[in-house]
Amino acid sequence: MNISCDSSELIHRSNRKPIPDQPHSSFSSPISLRKQTTNRIMTNIVLYRLPFLLIGITITILFFYTFPLNDLDSPYYPDSSSSPLSSSALPARRVLLEEPPMKKQSVMTRVPGGVRGKRKRIVVTGGAGFVGSHLVDRLIERGDSVIVVDNMFTGRKDNLLHHFGNPNFELIRHDVVEPILLEVDQIYHLACPASPVHYKYNPTNVMGTLNMLGLAKRVGARFLLTSTSEVYGDPLQHPQAETYWGHVNPIGVRSCYDEGKRTAETLAMDYHRGAGIEVRIARIFNTYGPRMCLDDGRVVSNFVAQALRKEPLTVYGDGKQTRSFQYVSDLVILFLD
């Protein structure tokens, strides 16, 4: 009895079909997640990115079709073998790709490049005086830009009135015994009273020359000093050569002018040797011409003044002394050479 029951139970179990394993709904394997993500990305690319990619390719093709690389107007391919451009026009475009040739460097100066050019910028100290005003006339006529520096001790504005309003002319009332800062190419230093009546009261040779030489050194300007025949003193040699050192009295009545000019020449040559400044020295003898001051005490002006007043001409000494005279325009020409 027991056996039959067991056998029936065995038969029932053998007829039962195995139930397959069902995956849990709340958990997925890592492999299936990667597959789902990859499928989603590919779907996005196909549905959304691919049309934009095709549009980009189309625009690129149209661009290169419209503007080919061997375009004749392109400055970046001047040597293209397919370009039928004439050889005469090639260098014009090749210049765009080449660096300009290096220019030969000139001597460096401290004046800015914009200041320099065909028109020189020149300062004339004492430019309102007798000789200085004639020098200004010639410089303006030559086309230079002129700055006149004068304290009007012996100079007069009337000598320069005809230049007022000229854009190339400038007048500065200033005493050169005080420094002044300018940007110039050349300096003509004429500022100093030249007659005994005036230079005894205002000797400006040393300090004025020193300040102007300092300016010339700072800006690299050429410097011209107007000296005098008085550097020879009471000469024993006639006529005086430039190699003659003179016969001077350092403590005489006129020594402030004579020794002042000698010192000015010494300073100029020291700046030339020590600082490399281009220096010129002009030893002026007796000069006459328009705009002379009638009361300066010199022989020509004295003769002219006495003649105009119909007075007897005064001759000093025994009348055997000699003088050299030059007209002011001839003197100015020598300055400019």
Give the residue numbers marked as catalytic: 257
> Do residues 317 and 323 touch, judged by C-beta distance below 8 A?
no
Bridge partners (DSSP) listed for residue 122: 146, 186
Residue type, 127: G
Write the CB contacts of 106 (distance below 8 Å, at least 6 apart in sequence): none
Q: What is the DSSP string of 99-152?
A: PPPPPPP----SS-TTT-SSS-EEEEETTTSHHHHHHHHHHHHHT-EEEEEE--
Burial of 205 (0-12, 13-18, 19+ CB in 10 A): buried
Closest by CA position to 205, among listed 219, 183, 225: 225
**Could you tell me whether strands 222-228 and 186-189 are parallel, antiparallel, or unpaired per DSSP bridges?**
parallel
Backbone φ, ψ for residue 86 (5° rounding): -65, 150
Q: Does residue 100 have a cis peptide bond before it, meaning omega lies within 30 degrees of 0? A: no
CA atoms of 283 and 242, how far apart (whole Å): 9
Closest by CA position to 283, among listed 302, 300, 304, 258: 258
CA atoms of 329 and 131, how far apart (whole Å): 9
